[in-house]
Structure 1
Amino acid sequence: MSEAARPTGLLTIDEAAEYLHVPARWVADAVRARKVRCTRIGKHVRFRIEHLEELIAAGEQPATAEVVPIARGRRRSKL
């Protein structure tokens, strides 16, 4: 998302879901499981962009330079 299109302020669950390109239900479940940081204002749940960026960074997978071939046709040991 470009800086011009980046939302500002606090985001609702629906806005956070749109930002992350996931269903709103997934975001609500992640909040209940405490997998994503959020701000609670009374009964309302809100997100800062920094909260969502932390979630994205935590989910990044490192790239490996080594390609491991899939072993096909291997037989089971006769133990």
Structure 2
Amino acid sequence: MDRMYRVLGFWTGIFTVMFYLGGMDKTALLFLGQTGFFVLLGYLNLTERMYMYVFGAYLTVFFAGFTYYTLFLMPPGGGLS
């Protein structure tokens, strides 16, 4: 299970570079933080159950943040004009 977090760290790192090169600096910083989080988790050697709890907590925080952003911060119409 720890290798899967390293793989997630690798892919979020790839997205970090792509977002940065595309001029999306805030998104690149968000993905850089996720990259560090996943790589750190990959080397902690936790039990499989603990990895599942951490992933569940990560998804809960993500969905809560995404819902808050789409309801309260995103402009009406999804930013399309």
Does TM, normalized by the shorter one, top 0.5? Answer: no
Q: In proportion to residue count, which structure has more strand?
A: 1
Query: Higher relative CO (CA 8 A, sep ≥ 6), structure 1 or 2?
Result: 2
